[in-house]
Amino acid sequence: MKILHFNGYLSGGGVEQYLAQLFPALQAHDIENALVYGEPDEGIFRFDGVALHHIEGITRICRDDPRAKLSRVKEIIDREKPDLAYLHQVAHLPLVRLVSSLLPTVRFVHDFKLVCPDGRKILKTRGTACQWPVGFRCQLNAYRYRCMPRNPFIGIPLIQNCVGMAALHQAKGRLVVASRFMKAVLIGNGLPEGRIAVIPYFTPLPKLEANRADGGPCRILAVGRITRDKGFDYLLRAYAGIPHKALLTIVGDGPELPALKRLAKALGISSRVAFPGWLTREKLDTAYRQCFLAAVPSIWPEPFGIVGIEAMAYQKPLVAFDVGGISQWLQDGETGLLATPRDAQDLREKMDLLLEKPSLAAEMGRRGRAVAEDQFTCRHHCRSLLQLFREAVSHHDIQSIPKLVPL
């Protein structure tokens, strides 16, 4: 079998990390892989043995004539001759329509772009998750909650793109989500339950004999793209109130990094907080091994939170805000502690509890590792994914592709 993947980026995000780990696993099952991507390669991950095809902006919503780019996609399909298309972060409806008309299609819904014009499912001025399905109400919410562009000449096409994409997936292909939470979101937006499969992400299981050395500095670790949604400002405020002499490392980069460094300085903790940027796999491995606990302070409805199961694989306890699909893997009181969303004091108390009770933290870490071994391995993921691929190929039907559904 040969699979043609589509993704917007080759940067340091969670989806790209997922692909970097998935490709060797698929190759081990004698599956060939090719990847079409739309943004420049930042060189963070290696994709050995994968045919890479860069078409600038192909996965984004574009207002110019897409025919030349779609023609290149058609040429790639003709040349690669894949058996199936596996879509990831793709927001360009004409691209999905074309691919779905030519190939069996499976889409991993990593985020909310399929059902939210803004892609974040957050009512900005209220700071809470949006509960409305995608539709004309989104444009009204733009005025009330500033969650998307207020200009209807910009907003309406975004809404139409989501509605059209949802209509397409109601009739064609299969959908994959990583959590029960995301499945409920899709069903609430009219996507048929029978087309949605819950297949959690996976993480490598490292050997544990080289974990944090006794007597080393106690470290709290957080990993992720540094944006407002990831809640690192809440983490800094929580950390500033911890009496324990633990150090904090925030791994990642993003548009909010300068503001985060300024906040650390204003809180008087800059000497105890490290911002190393994105790390190589080897250095990140060291960071996980040396930390005492991991924090996931996301404030948006996180579809899953792959960094959480990474920490569990390293036998680390976790503290996280109780948002989105995080409770799929963080069992409160068992593998870590859940804090009230956007409550820095509660987050501080949860971290402080584990820092002051190392035996409790160690037990939670052991339970987390057991859960990772039982539920979040590459073997479990690939077994379910390959079964879905086979079903998609055997049931492929290239008949009617639905047109845009009017609002």
For the stretch 32-73, pLDDT in tens is 999 999 887 766 778 899 999 999 888 776 666 788 999 999
Residue 388 tokens read as 């879905």
Residue 213 has pLDDT above 60, yes or no: no
pLDDT per residue as tens digits for the range 165-204: 988 998 888 999 999 999 999 999 999 999 999 999 999 9
- CB atoms < 10 A from the CB of 220, how many? 25
Mean pLDDT of the chain: 90
Q: What is the pTM of this model?
A: 0.87
SS3 277: strand
Q: Residue 359: which residues within 8 A CB-CB, separation 6 or more?
A: none
Widest CA span in the chain: 65
The CATH H-level (homologous superfamily) assignment of domain 219-375 is Glycogen Phosphorylase B; (3.40.50.2000)
Q: What are phi and psi of 34, to 5 degrees?
A: -135, 150
Cβ(257)–Cβ(233) below 8 Å: no
Please provide residue 162's backbone torsions phi and psi, each rounded to the nearest 5 degrees: -65, -45
- CA dihedral (121, 122, 124, 128) positive or negative: positive
Kindly tell me if the per-residue pLDDT of 287 is higher than 50.
yes
So what's the pLDDT on residue 63?
63
- Does residue 31 contact residue 62 with C-beta atoms inside 8 Å? no
400, pLDDT greater than 60? no
Q: How many Å apart are CA 60 and CA 91, to the nearest integer?
A: 5
Relative to beta strand 122-123, strand 128-129 is antiparallel
Rounded Cα gap, residues 254 and 205, in angstroms: 28
Instruction: Provide the token pair at 49.
Output: 């043995």
pLDDT of residue 404: 36
Q: How far is CA 393 from the centre of its chain?
A: 26
**Residue 397 reports pLDDT greater than 60:** no
DSSP state of 219: E
Q: What is the pLDDT of residue 120?
A: 86
Using the Cα atoms of residue 299, residue 300, residue 304 and residue 305 in order, give the sign of their dihedral: negative
pLDDT in tens, 108-137: 999 998 999 988 898 888 878 888 999 889
Coil, helix or strand at residue 133: coil
pLDDT, tens only, 220-269: 999 998 998 999 999 999 999 998 889 999 999 999 999 999 999 999 99
What is the 3-state composition of the chain as percent helix, strand, coil, each rounded to the nearest 5?
A: 45, 15, 40
Q: Find the range with the poorest average confidence among 11-15, 102-106, 381-385.
A: 11-15
Q: With the C-alpha atoms ordered 324, 328, 334, 335, is the resulting torsion angle positive or negative?
A: negative
Query: In whole angstroms, what is the distance from residue 192 CA to residue 188 CA?
Result: 9
The whole-angstrom separation of Cα 359 and Cα 292 is: 12
Q: State which amino acid sits at residue 20.
A: A
Q: Whole-angstrom Cα distance, residue 158 to residue 336?
A: 38
Task: Report the interhelical angle of 306-313 vs 358-375 (nearest 10°).
Answer: 110
Q: Which region, left, alpha or beta, applies to residue 59 given φ > 0 means left and ψ of -120 to 50 means alpha?
A: alpha
What pLDDT sits at residue 399? 42
Domain chopping of the chain, boundaries: 2-202+378-394, 219-375
For residue 126, the model assigns a pLDDT of: 83
Q: Which of 205, 375, 387 is nearest to 304 (CA)?
A: 375
Higher pLDDT, 173 or 370: 370
Sign, Cα dihedral of 38, 81, 5, 45: negative
Q: What distance in Å separates the CA atoms of residue 281 and residue 302, rounded to the nearest whole number? A: 23
Residue carrying structure tokens 């911002």: 275
- Give the chain's radius of gyration (CA, Å): 21
**DSSP 8-state assignment for residue 267:** T
pLDDT at residue 398 is higher than 60: no
Confidence of residue 322 (pLDDT cuts 50, 70, 90): very high
The top-level CATH class assigned to 2-202+378-394 is alpha beta
User: Rounded mean pLDDT of 339-355?
Assistant: 97
Domains 2-202+378-394 and 219-375 share a fold: yes
Q: Measure Cα distances from 221 to 199, 207, 296, 351 in Å.
A: 26, 19, 9, 11
Instruction: With a cut of 60, say whether residue 403 has pLDDT above it.
Output: no
Residue ranges of alpha helices (H) inside 9-105 are: 14-28, 67-80, 93-102
